[in-house]
Structure 1
């Protein structure tokens, strides 16, 4: 059974190669093809040949962009996480989240629902990610690389959470990273429920409820007096 070769640590953690416009197009098409193949066959049963055939490229095109299937997965993961974080940032910064007409007791849930609308619950990606995570747990170098990427997501999303909560009149209690980790855990758990129940309305409502409970538990109303114009100028 063909599986991806286990890369040395530099395959998983080095800075990406310089990407020209043409190479960027090739990478994107290969990544799209890989997503289809991984989803259909499973990560461990997918081969470079299958991906190249699906994308209409040669093995040479693959290896000029990726050292292994493991490296390709991380590129796919980076692509998706970057897009998701940008969607979350835009939702958190939009005027919709101000929710000035709602009482404080309803603001957190309404703001949470607005942000969750842009967080995908994707059957195809869930299967790919779950299989690769199991694969990485058997390989110390991959497990370390996966943990580093999860931490990078937390480092990016925590300031977005702080800003969004500030606009809702709340502030994080304790270590913001703890709230970030709790929300990742809720996302992972409720994604499974939504997928198993075919994205039923009740499963999605429960997802919003659980996120809201966690956000409320790790935050409190912000009683800090607003900064004056003079304070802003002197800072």
Structure 2
């Protein structure tokens, strides 16, 4: 029993250490950029030694990807959750309002995400991992649109459900790129809502 308690305590401590390292890394990456940050700086910001770092991550790249995955999964869950609230007849404008209300539009996250995209563009293995996670987000959107009936009448220009999901992700990417420059989060939410409503309706829907 004592051994089991010790194992649980160690496991909890390790989970907490990993979470603290990720939080500290997020702050440092957002402030300085991925390519300008060392393991020592992450450890200092988190208040841990290099030993604590290496007991959780093999490299700064691994930590960076864990950080990206954590945020990417949050976004996928936000989109899936917002789209799951309707019944079988998806009310597109109302669903878009919910998505834009909860979707992560954080300037620090966008800085880190942009660094990760640039990093992935130069590393095929990282790029494939990034593509896999973006595919999960598209799948969450496509699944809900595919199950929708009634008011979810997609414009023919999008081709099919998968095309519509790609368009949703492209709209998000475009709006967040603009947000990096003008720093206006509320304007970004409003534009994203209008774009998604226009993309996902046949003209009968109106922005919320």
TM range (shorter): 0.7 to 0.9
Give the drift of 1:145: 2.0
How far apart, in 2, do the equivalents of 1:147 and 1:200 lie? 26
- List aligned pairs for 1:69-148, cutoff 5 A: 69-94=60-85, 97=86, 107-148=91-132
Show the counterpart of 1:149: 133
Q: Does 1:169 align with 2:154?
A: no
Unpaired runs of 5+ residues, structure 1, are 1-18, 222-235
Question: Structure 1 pair 55/187, CA: closer, same or farther in 2 (3 Å)?
Answer: same
Q: Give the structure with the higher percent helix.
A: 2
Contact 2:97 2:193 in 1 (8 A): yes
Question: Structure 1 pair 66/190, CA: closer, same or farther in 2 (3 Å)?
Answer: same
Q: Does 1:56 align with 2:47?
A: yes
Q: Deviation digits for residues 130-170 of structure 1, max 9, x if unmatched? A: 1121122112222222222222332334223434x44x632
Contact 2:92 2:201 in 1 (8 A): yes
Contact 1:39 1:128 in 2 (8 A): yes
How far apart, in 2, do the equivalents of 1:73 and 1:161 lie? 32
How far apart, in 2, do the equivalents of 1:66 and 1:47 lie? 13
| Further displaced range: 74-83 or 39-48 | 74-83
Question: Structure 1 pair 20/154, CA: closer, same or farther in 2 (3 Å)?
Answer: farther
Give the drift of 1:91: 2.2
How far apart, in 2, do the equivalents of 1:183 and 1:111 lie? 13
Show the counterpart of 2:189: 204
Give the drift of 1:171: 5.2
Instruction: Report the 3-state secondary structure (helix = DSSP H, G, I; strand = E; otherwise coil) of the residue aligned with 1:65.
Output: coil
TM-score, length-scaled by structure 2: 0.80
Show the counterpart of 1:7: none
Give the drift of 1:201: 4.8
How far apart, in 1, do the equivalents of 2:188 and 2:113 lie? 21
How far apart, in 2, do the equivalents of 1:177 and 1:145 lie? 20
Question: Structure 1 pair 60/196, CA: closer, same or farther in 2 (3 Å)?
Answer: same
User: Please, what is the CA RMSD of the aligned residues?
Assistant: 2.8
How far apart, in 1, do the equivalents of 2:131 and 2:146 lie? 23
The aligned length equals: 192
Unpaired runs of 5+ residues, structure 2, are 1-9
- List aligned pairs for 1:2-81, cutoff 5 A: 20-81=11-72
Q: Deviation digits for residues 159-198 of structure 1, max 9, x if unmatched? A: 23434x44x6325564322211111110010112234333
